[in-house]
């Protein structure tokens, strides 16, 4: 039997597309094996968000050829799209699949196997209007939740980012199309749906359907108990959005709002489309309509021109908003972006110092958030049994995406249950009181 192996790099959108390509290969008669094994076909879904991502993409493609020099090695995705001229000359790669062309995996593979000729043309994803690529997934490698790509592309052009050039302009699926896929996931036993996109907040732009409509109709599908959002931007958080979302009982009150900086001057240089005050207003609306929602974010420290005063303005903003968690990134220069050409680049030493300060703050805020859960009843979707500090626990996640653990004799896979939190374990786990446990679903 023919064997194929796939490796995904990057975001949840990439992960969804890798799942779709895996299913295409299965339908074509391939047995899917781990990437570390010898295969007839290797697919690497690449990432280009950082220079390190480019390097990892190249490494995985070269590793595939070394494992089997006779295998067909397929490079797909963002790195292919932005570095086409460079990788056309890479003899480790047999087929190049840019973005919006992953649905052509099988025709391109069959053509190559017949002609043994490398195709070097890359579709210009930034040339005019690009339609949404019709990739679909029937099941997910995640056992309890399904990540569902509903939007692609970005029109933001942040000064540090190449993704708009790698993904093209913003485009979306229709709500009805998404709902049909959600129904298939529900039939296969998935209880939680995570809606993802390159710029999820832009879902439905140019139509009469918006993200809140998608949330409401996804949640209405029989069998779906939870709807969670990927990263969104503050402009989508209006009074109407927050009010309607709070009435969806399946809605997970976990909102990852992309910030990057709490200083208006820095945000301008980043070409972000909001001020710190507008961002804070979105957070306040969510806290108005949801009971103690988990607000998380991404921040960049050491952006070009970020003075100590600007950094402290951001730091005080982070203190004020009190995010449950902040993903902290030291600014990394990216060739081809405006930020790479900006003056007053920050030293690595200073970036590390600032990163450490923000990480310490998020550690304090996270602990405080979890301490506030003590003695309160919470709902958990259990996933697996695992060992933590030498003891066996069933673990899963709350609606706010806090990891929870409970000792239990029996099988809790895909079970939703309620129990009181009686203690904390390590840096990120709340422990449930077994005696108060009650199955819900």
The span from the CA of 301 to the CA of 311, in Å, is: 8
Q: Are 416 and 440 in contact (CB under 8 A)?
A: yes
pLDDT grade for 143, boundaries at 50, 70 and 90 = confident
Q: Which of 304, 295, 285 is nearest to 327 (CA)?
A: 295
pLDDT grade for 121, boundaries at 50, 70 and 90 = low
Q: Over 80: is that where the pLDDT of 125 sits?
A: no
The span from the CA of 134 to the CA of 77, in Å, is: 15
pLDDT for 69: 95
How many domains does the chain divide into? Answer: 2
Beta strands in 116-229 (DSSP E): 145-152, 171-172, 192-197, 226-229
Q: 261-292 pLDDT, tens per residue?
A: 999 999 999 999 999 999 999 999 999 999 99
Average pLDDT, the chain: 95
Whether residue 164 lies inside any domain: the answer is: no
pLDDT for 59: 97
Residue 393 lies in domain? 377-439
pLDDT for 391: 93
Q: Which of these three, 57, 80, 115, is where a domain ends?
A: 115
Q: Over 90: is that where the pLDDT of 138 sits?
A: no
Output the pTM of the full model.
0.94
Token reading at 229: 């959002």
Give residue for tokens 């108990």.
225
pLDDT for 394: 98
Whether residue 176 lies inside any domain: the answer is: no
- Write the DSSP symbol of residue 334: -
Whether residue 202 lies inside any domain: the answer is: no
Q: Which of these three, 115, 145, 180, is where a domain ends?
A: 115
The span from the CA of 248 to the CA of 313, in Å, is: 36
Q: Are 7 and 36 in contact (CB under 8 A)?
A: no
The span from the CA of 179 to the CA of 340, in Å, is: 41
CATH of the domain at 71: 3.40.50.12160
Q: 165-198 pLDDT, tens per residue?
A: 999 999 999 999 999 999 999 999 999 999 999 9
Which residues have CB under 8 Å from 381's CB, separation 6+?
Answer: 144, 145, 191, 192, 225, 226, 396, 397, 414, 415, 416
pLDDT for 296: 98
Q: 53-80 pLDDT, tens per residue?
A: 999 999 999 999 999 999 999 999 999 9
Q: 280-330 pLDDT, tens per residue?
A: 999 999 999 999 999 999 999 999 999 999 999 999 999 999 999 999 999
Around Cβ 104, how many Cβ atoms within 10 Å? 16
Whether residue 229 lies inside any domain: the answer is: no
Per DSSP bridges, beta strands 438-439 and 31-32 are unpaired
- DSSP assignment of 1-29: --EEEEEE-SSHHHHHHHHHHHHHHHHTT
Whether residue 81 lies inside any domain: the answer is: yes
Q: Which of these three, 86, 115, 144, is where a domain ends?
A: 115
Whether residue 40 lies inside any domain: the answer is: yes
Residues in the chain: 441
């Amino acid at each position: 039997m023919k064997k194929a192996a796939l490796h995904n790099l990057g975001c949840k959108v990439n992960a969804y597309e890798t799942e779709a390509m895996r299913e295409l290969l299965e339908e074509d008669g391939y047995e899917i094996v781990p990437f570390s094994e010898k295969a007839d076909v290797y697919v690497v879904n690449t990432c280009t968000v950082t220079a390190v991502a480019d390097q990892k993409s190249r490494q995985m493609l070269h590793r595939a050829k070394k494992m089997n020099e006779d295998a067909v090695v397929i490079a797909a995705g963002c790195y292919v799209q932005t570095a086409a001229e460079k990788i056309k000359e890479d003899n480790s790669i047999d087929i190049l699949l840019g973005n919006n062309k992953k649905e052509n995996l099988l025709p391109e593979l069959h053509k190559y196997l017949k002609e043994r000729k490398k195709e070097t043309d890359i579709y210009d994803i930034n040339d005019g209007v690009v339609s949404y690529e019709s990739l679909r997934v029937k099941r997910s490698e995640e056992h309890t939740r399904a990540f569902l790509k509903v939007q692609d592309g970005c029109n933001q052009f942040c000064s540090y980012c190449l993704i708009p050039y790698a993904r093209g302009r913003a485009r979306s699926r229709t709500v009805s199309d998404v709902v049909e896929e959600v129904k298939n996931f529900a039939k296969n036993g998935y209880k939680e749906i995570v809606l993802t996109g390159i710029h999820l907040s832009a879902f439905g732009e140019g139509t009469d359907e918006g993200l809140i409509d998608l949330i409401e109709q996804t949640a209405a599908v029989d069998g779906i108990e939870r709807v969670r959002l990927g990263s969104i931007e503050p402009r989508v958080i209006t009074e109407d959005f927050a009010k309607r979302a709070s009435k969806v009982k399946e809605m997970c009150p976990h909102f990852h709002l992309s910030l990057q900086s709490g200083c208006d001057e820095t945000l301008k240089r980043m070409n972000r489309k909001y001020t710190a005050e507008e961002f804070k207003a979105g957070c306040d609306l969510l806290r108005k309509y949801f009971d103690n929602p988990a607000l998380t974010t991404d921040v960049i420290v050491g952006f070009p021109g970020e003075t100590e005063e600007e950094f402290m303005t951001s730091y005080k903003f982070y203190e004020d908003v009190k995010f449950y968690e902040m993903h902290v990134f030291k600014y990394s220069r990216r060739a081809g972006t405006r930020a790479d050409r900006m003056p007053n680049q920050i030293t690595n030493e200073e970036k590390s110092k600032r990163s450490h300060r923000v990480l310490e703050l998020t550690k304090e805020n996270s602990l405080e958030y979890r301490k506030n859960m003590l003695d309160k009843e919470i709902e958990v979707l259990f996933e697996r049994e695992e060992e933590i500090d030498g003891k066996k626990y069933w673990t899963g996640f709350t609606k706010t995406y806090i990891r929870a653990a409970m000792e239990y004799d029996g099988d809790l896979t895909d079970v939703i249950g309620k129990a009181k939190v009686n203690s904390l374990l390590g840096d990120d786990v709340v422990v449930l009181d077994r005696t108060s446990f009650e199955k819900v679903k």
